A and B are shown apart, each in its own frame.
Chain A
Amino acid sequence: MAADSTTIKQLIGRIANDDGSAKNELVTLLYDELRRIAGSLMRNERPVHTLQPTALVAEAFINLERAVVMDNPRSRAYFVSAAAQAMRDVLREHARRRNAQKRKPDGERSPWDVSLAWFEESGLPFFDLDEAMESLASVDKLQHEIVQLKYFGGLTNEQVAELLDISARTVERKHKLAKSWLRSRIGATEDE
């Protein structure tokens, strides 16, 4: 599906009307876009080591932004939420591929590796986090959304607060709660 403004608007409209599959469609669309941009950038033989994931994400979304009318705060919330989910999907895909590959030639460090390393360093190995997040989604939707936006969308507390229309204090609080819970989960499986 092409990432043009009409498609995105339609999808957002369907999400607003509680169409469960629309969100997935939007995520897939953004996911494709992210991968396409990443692929083309890598093929352009840019010096890969200078490519930060931030730059990649920015490039991927610059086109979309122009396509999406973001004056409605609710539409924006749907879109950003889907974008964060797409980021998570891209990272999962990459992590899987990297695991399967076992050894990779030197120098082929993709920007996604930088992101995966960040999770590792934060004590939240990607797959463990991803799995624990699945459980969190069924336990507490709001906390799941906050963590999703922060860890995969890279939003600040203030941004999350604005997007979800709650106070920054609540975001901070729920985030602390959620990450404590996530870590206790991840820690527990490690212990076993």
Chain B
Amino acid sequence: MPQSLTERANAICDLVIAASPDQRDAKIKSECGDVSDLHNLVQQELEIRFDRLVLKFCDEVMDDAPYLQREKAMQRFAGDPQLRDRVLRVVTRMLEFDAKTDIDVRPPHFLPASLVDSSPLIDQQVGEYRIARRIGKGGFGAVYLANRVDPTKRPVAVKILHSVEPSTELRMRFNRECMMLANLRHEGIAHYITHGELDDKTPYLVMEFVDGIKITDYCDQLGLSIRERVELFIEVCNAVQQAHIKSLVHRDIKPSNILVEHERGNPANSHDQPQSTRALRGRTPKLIDFGIALSLDPKFESSQLTADAPPMTPAYASPEQMTEPSCKLDSRTDIYSLGLVLYELLTGGLPYPIAGKTPIQIAAVKQEDPKLPSETVLETVIRHEFDSKSNTTVPVPLTAESRAADRKGRSPEKIRKEISGDLENIVLKSLSTDLNRKSEARRYDTVQSLVQDLKNWLTNEPVTATAPTRMYRFRKFVRRNGIPVAAICVVVISLISGFFVYLATQYGNLQRDRAEAATMREQETQSELEAKNLDAMSHSAFGWFLYYWGTGQEQAAEEFARLMPRETFEYVGVEFLQGRQISDEQLSKITPKGWEAMACYLIGEKQLREGQADIARRWYARGASKEEFRGFRRRCEWRVQHLEKH
């Protein structure tokens, strides 16, 4: 026989794999016949080949969104249950690993670093410091952890250029980094300590050592809320702003260059402080690596250095940074990168699909509109599970083991609600590709304006990123003055009575309206009687408030808002706003009787929902007699007719 057993087995495997899945066993039988050695060999080889196929497929789909991984597996191996099961088993594991961050995979036994790390610098003395181990590697050099050679053994970070003869240009760049860093002092920036040259003229830079983890991991591990994340992020912005004040553009802002020191078991310290302050206080995020920073100060920047495009991180670089020469860049490129970091902090993902793309493709994709953060949040926090009963994929919110659950069990929907609107607009404004200073939709001009908007968001003030319609400001106003709660019908009814009083006074229909209001009060029930006890003054205040608000006199409106009881304001404010998109122009055109029609309708609806059809009908009837405003009068009419029919 010309072929060896192995060769024959291989050939048979080729045939079996090419055959349709349900023919495989038959194929093996027919090809191997009774030769049991061959049979075994084929089985073994097949096993390996299947596993290779499985791994190859999993490798291909690894970067897809979680639900796609499964989806693709189901499609590709639809007619091949044997392989499909294997793939799904591995994909399931992959999803599990996606969901949780492997914090420490290092076993207790490990080979000494001095054996593994190739650097000849380990244990060498650099200036007053002794190199302990390498902690990072960049394009031009590496960063080492070193300890001061004295009893304090103070740890520092030492950046050393590659010891291969560094070119003049690299040296210039390195020197410039040293000078720039020496000029910077901010608690949010890993500070300069000293710099110098080794015996062989290799330049080095000694900096503060930040024993931390990247900001995104930090937030996830501590399960920080959206608010806490924003607060932490503002600190990062402050550090970047300081650099900008010194005419420095960082150009490489990304989570791995923003470190937050994490708790290291130091019992002596941790007992001094209460739990809550230990968790958040004194954890300043630190900006590191000014290796490719750009100075807008001509003193530092020679034309030679600005002309070329330095290495960067495509995923976090601004679109202009990827396409324009350095001399055309300004500090706004950092704002873009900050925007991406914020995006990631809020959603756990990035707005563009960049996996497996070349830098040029990434640059192109960044010209497109980013995916809304509120959409991304649903994708990253919802896992799509294949449901065998319905034969479709169904979204399954991630549970305790998952990455998103680091957000303390808050549902994705809740996070989505929290970030949609203003916070989302702030992120999108930071990511705007529009750099025209006159354009409304442009990116933030300064870090300060970004910070100001974030602070506004924290305090419920209007943000510049959201178009300033009057409705929008009203909404902010309502939120600032109290978050909506379930309202009490009594309050509303009494409120409207007061509202009528106001209208009457204002327009000389005092007598008639009083009489009407009195009639209504007589007709109505116990709850109405209770209403009398409420302060009439506060109710008319609401009328004045609406009037001034509607006519654009916001300051006057605020005065009256203060006189109102909280519940009144919250309820009507919210009811008034819910789902009713009213433009500024329309708002200013509302007549007092138009207000009244609307108010009557809203009250009527509320009553109807609570089963008080009679009371509701009376409110509708009242509204029907007022002036038309956005169809509220007409709606009142319809309701009256409808209720009378039944």
Instruction: Give per-residue flags for B92-114: 1 if the beta carbon is below 8 A from chain A beta carbons, else 0.
Output: 11100100000001111111111
Q: Which residue of B lies closest to A135 (CB)?
A: B51
Q: Which of B48, B52, B89 contacts A184 (CB 8 A)?
A: B89
Instruction: Give A74 Cβ to nearest chain B Cβ, in Å.
Output: 11
Interchain CB contact under 8 A, B115 and A65: yes
Residues of B within 8 A of A64 (CB): 115
Interchain CB contact under 8 A, A181 and B54: yes
Interchain CB contact under 8 A, A155 and B110: yes
Instruction: Give per-residue flags for B30-55: 1 if the beta carbon is below 8 A from chain A beta carbons, else 0.
Output: 00000000000000000110011011
Interchain CB contact under 8 A, A188 and B89: yes
* A73, A135, A180 — most chain B CB neighbours (10 Å): A180
Q: Which residue of A lies closest to B134 (CB)?
A: A158
Residues of A within 8 A of B120 (CB): 71
Interchain CB contact under 8 A, B111 and A177: no
Residues of A within 8 A of B107 (CB): 53, 115, 118-119, 151-152, 154
A183 within 8 A of B: yes
Residues of A within 8 A of B55 (CB): 139-140, 143, 177, 181
Instruction: Give B54 Cβ to nearest chain A Cβ, in Å.
Output: 7
Q: Which 4 A-B pairs have the closest CB atoms?
A: A154-B110, A53-B109, A180-B93, A184-B89
Residues of A within 8 A of B92 (CB): 184
Q: Can you report 13 A-B residue pairs in the complex whose CB atoms are below 8 A from each other?
A: A57-B112, A58-B112, A65-B115, A80-B111, A138-B48, A151-B107, A153-B110, A154-B111, A155-B116, A158-B137, A162-B117, A163-B118, A181-B51
Give A52 to B285 CA distance when docked, in angstroms. Answer: 34
A76 within 8 A of B: yes
A56 within 8 A of B: yes
Interchain CB contact under 8 A, A57 and B93: no
Q: Which residue of B lies closest to A161 (CB)?
A: B137
Residues of A within 8 A of B106 (CB): 154, 156
Give A159 to B116 CA distance when docked, in angstroms. Answer: 7
Question: Given contacts A180-B90, A180-B97, is CB(A173)–CB(B110) below 8 Å?
Answer: no
Question: Given contacts A52-B108, A187-B89, is CB(A70)–CB(B115) below 8 Å?
Answer: yes
Give A58 to B91 CA distance when docked, in angstroms. Answer: 37
B635 within 8 A of A: no
Instruction: Give A1 Cβ to nearest chain B Cβ, in Å.
Output: 20
Interchain CB contact under 8 A, A177 and B118: no
Give A143 to B54 CA distance when docked, in angstroms. Answer: 14
Residues of B within 8 A of A122 (CB): 105
Interchain CB contact under 8 A, A176 and B94: yes
Assuming A156-B106, A180-B90, what are 13 further A-B pairs, CB within 8 angstroms? A56-B109, A61-B115, A65-B115, A70-B115, A84-B111, A135-B48, A135-B51, A140-B52, A140-B55, A153-B111, A155-B110, A163-B118, A181-B58
Give A140 to B59 CA distance when docked, in angstroms. Answer: 12
Give A52 to B542 CA distance when docked, in angstroms. Answer: 73
Interchain CB contact under 8 A, A139 and B51: yes
The prevalent SS among residues of A at the interface is: helix
Give A170 to B540 CA distance when docked, in angstroms. Answer: 69
Residues of B within 8 A of A184 (CB): 86, 89-90, 92-93
B62 within 8 A of A: yes
A54 within 8 A of B: yes
Q: Which residues of B contact A (CB under 8 A)?
A: 47-48, 51-52, 54-55, 58-59, 62, 86, 89-94, 97, 105-118, 120, 134, 137
A15 within 8 A of B: no
Q: Which residue of A lies closest to B52 (CB)?
A: A139
Q: Which residue of B lies closest to A76 (CB)?
A: B118
Instruction: Give A67 Cβ to nearest chain B Cβ, in Å.
Output: 11
Q: Which residue of B lies closest to A143 (CB)?
A: B55
Residues of B within 8 A of A177 (CB): 55, 58-59, 62, 90, 94
Number of interface residues of A (CB under 8 A): 52
Residues of A within 8 A of B62 (CB): 173, 176-177
Interchain CB contact under 8 A, A154 and B86: no
Give A17 to B634 CA distance when docked, in angstroms. Answer: 93
Give A52 to B111 CA distance when docked, in angstroms. Answer: 13
* A111, A150, A153, A181 — most chain B CB neighbours (10 Å): A181
Interchain CB contact under 8 A, B114 and A73: no
A64-89: which residues lie under 8 A (CB-CB) from chain B?
64-65, 70-71, 73, 76, 79-80, 83-84, 87
Give A23 to B75 CA distance when docked, in angstroms. Answer: 44
Q: Which residue of A lies closest to B114 (CB)?
A: A65
Q: Which residue of B lies closest to A34 (CB)?
A: B109
Interchain CB contact under 8 A, A61 and B51: no
Residues of B within 8 A of A87 (CB): 109, 111
Give A65 to B112 CA distance when docked, in angstroms. Answer: 10
Give A52 to B52 CA distance when docked, in angstroms. Answer: 38
Q: Which of A76, A138, A176 contacts B97 (CB 8 A)?
A: A176
Interchain CB contact under 8 A, B110 and A54: yes
Give A48 to B481 CA distance when docked, in angstroms. Answer: 65
Give A141 to B485 CA distance when docked, in angstroms. Answer: 62
Give A76 to B134 CA distance when docked, in angstroms. Answer: 17
Instruction: Give A75 Cβ to nearest chain B Cβ, in Å.
Output: 10
Q: Which of A71, A118, A139, A181 contacts B108 (CB 8 A)?
A: A118
Instruction: Give A120 Cβ to nearest chain B Cβ, in Å.
Output: 11
Residues of A within 8 A of B117 (CB): 159, 162
A62 within 8 A of B: yes
Residues of B within 8 A of A118 (CB): 107-108
Interchain CB contact under 8 A, A114 and B110: no
Question: Given contacts A183-B93, A184-B89, is CB(A162)–CB(B109) below 8 Å?
Answer: no
A9 within 8 A of B: no
A92 within 8 A of B: no
* A61, A118, A184 — most chain B CB neighbours (10 Å): A184
Question: Given contacts A65-B114, A184-B93, is CB(A115)–CB(B51) below 8 Å?
Answer: no
Give A173 to B468 CA distance when docked, in angstroms. Answer: 46
Give A49 to B407 CA distance when docked, in angstroms. Answer: 38
